[in-house]
């Protein structure tokens, strides 16, 4: 397979000078290597017998000694050493199906790859796992795995994922639990489908798999304005969000008493929709579900307040912070908290309405460059604009609508600094300790990078 070809060899690799670009790994210690999971697992040992194949088909063997767990230092044509697995479902709530036409092609690819779950933390439905892959995960003890569950009712799961075999994955979860594979799970809650009694049933079934089911997030369905000819779904109302919080928190308290962990946690957005305060820091235990927006704002506040206590005087330069509508009140509170200790701290927080996807979408990570420019034009921005790194593709530094960070900066007449979702990083940026912004090479410029000057 072309994806399995060695693209480069690190100079520190024990194979440097012994293998060539274009070769492929056939086996390690007699174990066939088909993809990155095989490679990482079987290359862990200290002593290896590696069989490789040249482009002309001839094979050769190498004996390798390295530190246990040390990397072989090979870079392959594809990170996975294989093509990524596409999703085989047509979920009624799929966000990708709600995207407008004309966006970059990568936005429309739906992955559902167990390897990416283990390596990068992606959530998978388990519906496209082959019997061999199930056995391999158990045999190699690939753990933890992040699972999009949504419901433990087999018939309802088939309906929600629009896959006649979706219910079979529940049995796979039970096999994983029996084998001791740790699973962090996700439930996208859709009013009228998997909420209420169905949600309670799902939580009971998942709780029965504890401790293999380590944590479960319950997040509200996100609905854009591009839902023509899609399954009719209803957004959460404030009242229904409150009812769902009551249901989950009550069951989670039972779990805490039985297991010492709440196991089940609601996303920040449900608290915001219900108009309720976020739980305290200790409620979120290990903050396992941060990537699903569970406790994100509470941890940001906890870190930020700790950072302010350690901070020096701010640089005195006026700045602005742009964020999603849901997070804006919390960031405003953090700014006010910092001003209590440092009254000279300047700054403004601006909530950005999501006109691109629709105003029911209010999370920061889906703010587009076009909306940012349109809504901040003429506003008092000071000498720097801070945004969340989550608004941008990390390498390319462009927004979801393909507006580049330097284009937004030029349109607004102010340098833009993407800040990590971390309270210490936010405090540093507000106080003038700014992250370096390195632009990728663009077709229209000869510069390798551009460093903002402050």
Q: What is the secondary structure of 425-437 as a DSSP string?
A: HHHHHHHT-PPP-
Query: What is the full DSSP assignment across 196-218?
Result: HHHHHHHHHHHHTTTTTEEEEEE
Question: What own/partner pairs with CB < 8 Å and gap ≥ 24 does 228-232 have?
Answer: 230/92, 230/97, 230/98, 231/92, 231/93
Q: Please state, in angstroms and as integers, the Cα–Cα distance from residue 83 to each residue in 21, 53, 78, following that order.
A: 19, 20, 7
User: Cβ distance 173 to 126 under 8 Å?
Assistant: yes
Helix (H, G, I), strand (E, B) or coil at 195: coil
The yes-or-no verdict on residue 436 having pLDDT over 80 is yes
What 3-state DSSP class applies to 120? helix
pLDDT computed for residue 337 by the predictor = 98
**pLDDT reading at 451 higher than 60:** no
Q: Which of 40, 124, 139 is nearest to 81 (CA)?
A: 40
CA-based torsion, 98, 104, 110, 114: positive or negative? negative
Question: Which is nearest to 430 in space by CA: 295, 323, 277, 352?
Answer: 323
Q: Which residue blocks in 260-327 are alpha helix, DSSP H?
A: 268-274, 296-310
- Going by pLDDT thresholds of 50, 70 and 90, the confidence category of residue 450 is very low
User: For residue 263, is pLDDT > 50?
Assistant: yes
pLDDT band, residue 392 (cuts 50/70/90): very high
**Which of 10-24, 135-149, 237-251 reaches the highest mean pLDDT?**
237-251
CA atoms of 370 and 354, how far apart (whole Å)? 10
Question: For 265-277, how does the pLDDT look when each residue is reduced to its tens digit (9 = 90+)?
Answer: 999 999 999 999 9
Average pLDDT for residues 423-439, to the nearest whole number? 94
| pLDDT confidence bin for 454, thresholds 50/70/90 | very low
* CB proximity list for 429: less than 8 A, separation 6 or greater: 319, 386, 417, 419, 435
pLDDT band at 60 (very low <50, low <70, confident <90, very high): very high
pLDDT band at 289 (very low <50, low <70, confident <90, very high): very high
Average pLDDT over the chain reads 92
248: pLDDT strictly greater than 90: yes
Contact of 190 with 202, CB cutoff 8 Å: no
Lowest-confidence region among 32-36, 60-64, 326-330, 365-369:
32-36
Average pLDDT, integer, range 353-372: 95
Beta bridge partners of 9: 74
pLDDT at 444: 52
* Contact between 288 and 259 (Cβ < 8 Å): no
Distance of alpha carbon 86 from alpha carbon 450, whole angstroms: 36
Q: What tokens were used for 43?
A: 């290359």
Residue 4: is its pLDDT beyond 90? no
pLDDT confidence of 102, banded at 50, 70, 90? confident
Q: What's the pLDDT score for residue 3?
A: 65
Q: Kind and range of the H or E element at 252?
A: helix 238-259
Length in residues, the chain: 454
Strand partners, 188: 219
Compute the distance between CA of residue 195 and CA of residue 188 in angstroms, rounded to an integer.
Answer: 9
β-bridge pairing 74-76 and 123-124: unpaired
Query: What pLDDT shows up at residue 2?
Result: 58
Q: Between 122 and 157, whose confidence is greater? A: 157
**Yes or no: domain 96-293 corresponds to CATH 1.10.8.420:** no
Answer for the pair 218, 244: CB distance below 8 angstroms, yes or no. Answer: yes
Could you give the CA distance from residue 449 to residue 445 in angstroms, rounded to a whole number?
A: 9
CA distance 72 to 405: 37
The token pair that represents 179 in the structure block:
């084998």
| Contacts of residue 38, Cβ cutoff 8 Å, sequence gap at least 6 | 28, 31, 32
Question: What is the DSSP-derived secondary structure letter of residue 193?
Answer: T
Taking residues 77-99, what's their average pLDDT?
86
Judging by beta carbons within 10 Å of its beta carbon (0-12, 13-18, 19+), is residue 383 exposed, middle or buried?
A: middle
Q: 395 falls in which pLDDT band (50, 70, 90)?
A: confident
Under CATH, what is the fold of the domain 2-76?
Pdz3 Domain (2.30.42)
Task: Name the token pair of 325.
Answer: 């509508």
Whether omega for the bond prior to residue 247 falls within 30 degrees of 0, making it cis, is: no
Per-domain residue ranges of the chain: 2-76, 96-293, 298-431
Distance CA 123, CA 152 (A): 16
Write out the two tokens for 281.
């820091």
- Tracing tokens 């950072």 back to the chain, one arrives at 307
pLDDT of residue 41: 87
Over residues 144-153, the pLDDT tens digits come to 999 999 999 9
**Residue 240 and residue 235: Cα distance in Å, rounded?**
9
> What is the residue-wise DSSP string for 53-84?
E-TTS-EEEEEEE--TT----EEESSTTSSPP
């Amino acid at each position: 397979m072309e994806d399995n070809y060695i693209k480069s060899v690190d100079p520190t690799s024990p194979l440097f000078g012994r293998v060539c670009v274009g070769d492929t790994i056939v086996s390690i210690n007699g174990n066939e290597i088909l993809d990155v999971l095989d490679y990482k697992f079987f290359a862990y040992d200290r002593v290896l017998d590696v069989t490789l194949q040249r482009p002309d088909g001839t094979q050769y063997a190498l004996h390798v000694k390295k530190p246990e767990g040390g990397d072989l230092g090979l870079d392959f044509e594809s990170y996975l050493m294989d093509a990524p697995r596409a999703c085989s479902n047509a979920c009624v709530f799929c966000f990708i199906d709600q995207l407008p036409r004309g966006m970059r092609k990568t936005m429309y690819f739906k992955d559902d790859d167990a390897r990416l779950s283990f390596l990068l933390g992606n959530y998978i439905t388990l519906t496209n796992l082959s019997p061999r892959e199930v056995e391999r995960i158990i045999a190699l003890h690939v753990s933890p795995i992040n699972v999009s569950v949504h419901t433990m009712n087999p018939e309802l799961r088939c309906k929600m994922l629009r896959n006649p075999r979706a219910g079979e994955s529940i049995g796979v979860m039970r096999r994983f639990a029996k084998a001791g594979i740790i699973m962090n799970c996700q439930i996208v809650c859709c009013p009228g489908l998997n909420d209420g009694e169905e949600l309670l049933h799902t939580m009971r079934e998942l709780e029965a798999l504890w401790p293999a089911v380590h944590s479960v997030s319950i997040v509200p369905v996100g609905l854009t304005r591009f839902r023509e000819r899609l399954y009719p779904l209803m957004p959460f109302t404030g009242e229904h969000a409150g009812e769902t919080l009551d249901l989950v928190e009550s069951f989670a308290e039972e779990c805490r008493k039985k297991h010492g962990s709440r196991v089940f946690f609601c996303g920040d957005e449900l608290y915001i929709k219900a108009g309720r305060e976020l739980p305290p820091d200790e409620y979120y235990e290990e903050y396992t579900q941060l990537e699903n927006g569970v406790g994100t704002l509470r941890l940001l506040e906890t870190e930020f307040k700790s950072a302010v206590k350690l901070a020096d005087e701010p640089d005195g330069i006026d700045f602005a912070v742009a964020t999603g509508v849901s997070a804006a009140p919390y960031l405003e509170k953090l700014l006010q908290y910092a001003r209590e200790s440092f009254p000279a701290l300047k700054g403004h927080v601006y909530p950005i309405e999501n006109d691109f996807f629709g105003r029911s979408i209010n999370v920061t990570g889906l703010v587009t460059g076009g909306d940012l420019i349109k809504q901040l034009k003429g506003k008092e921005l000071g000498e720097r604009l801070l945004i969340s790194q989550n608004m941008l593709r990390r390498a390319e530094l462009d927004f979801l609508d393909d507006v580049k960070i330097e284009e937004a900066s030029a349109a607004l007449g102010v340098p833009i600094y993407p800040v990590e979702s971390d309270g210490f990083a936010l405090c540093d940026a507000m106080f003038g300790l700014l992250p370096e912004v390195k632009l990728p090479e663009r077709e229209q410029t000869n510069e390798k990078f551009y460093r903002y000057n402050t």
